[in-house]
A and B are shown apart, each in its own frame.
Chain A
Amino acid sequence: MSATAEPTATSTPAEPVGRPDPVVPRTPAEAVALLSDRRATGALHGPLGSLYLVDGLVTAAESPRAPGLADLLTGCGRTTPGDWFELLRLHGPHGRVGAELVDRRLLTRGELELGHLGTLFDAAYFVLADRAGGTWRFEPDARHWLGAVAAVDPARLHREAERRRRLLDRIWPWPQLDTAPVRPVEHHRRPSHRPPGRRRCELLDHADGRRTPADLARLLGRSGFGVTADVRRLAAAGLLDAPHHAAPAPGQAAQTPAQAPQAPARAPQVPAGAAEVPPRPPGAGGAKGRPGGLHRRIPGATLRGAPATDPTGAPARPPAPTRSDRPPTPAAAHPPAVPDPDIALLTRVRDLLEARL
Chain B
Amino acid sequence: MPGIDECLSGAMAIAGARAASLVDWSSGLALGSLGESPTGDHEASAAEATDLVRAAVESQTFTAAEDRSSPLEDIIVTAGRSYHLIRFIDTVFDSRLVLHLWLDREAGNLAAARFRLQALAEELVLG
Residues of chain A at the chain B interface (Cβ within 8 Å): 72-73, 75-76, 78, 102, 108-115, 117-118, 121-122, 150, 159-160, 163-164, 167, 196-198, 220-223, 225-226, 229
Contacts and interface: CB of A to CB of B under 8 A. Distances in A.
B93 to A, nearest CB: 4
Grouping DSSP codes into helix (H, G, I), strand (E, B) and loop, the A interface class, with mixed when no group exceeds half, is helix
Contact of B60 (A114, A150, A167, A196): A196
Contact of B1 (A72, A109, A117, A196): A109
B27 A110 contact: no
B59 interface: yes
B29 interface: yes
Given A75-B93, A108-B1, A226-B96, A198 B26 contact: no
Q: Which size bracket describes the interface of B in this complex?
A: 20 to 34
Contacts of A222: 26, 94
Contacts, number: 94
B95 to A, nearest CB: 6
A163 to B, nearest CB: 7
B38 interface: no
Nearest to A230: B26
A198 B127 contact: no
Interface in B84-127: 91-97, 123-127
A122 B31 CA distance: 12
Top-7 shortest CB links A-B: A108-B127, A226-B26, A72-B93, A110-B124, A196-B58, A109-B1, A76-B93
A108 B125 contact: yes
11 contacts: A72-B95, A73-B93, A75-B94, A78-B92, A108-B127, A110-B127, A112-B3, A117-B31, A167-B28, A223-B27, A226-B26
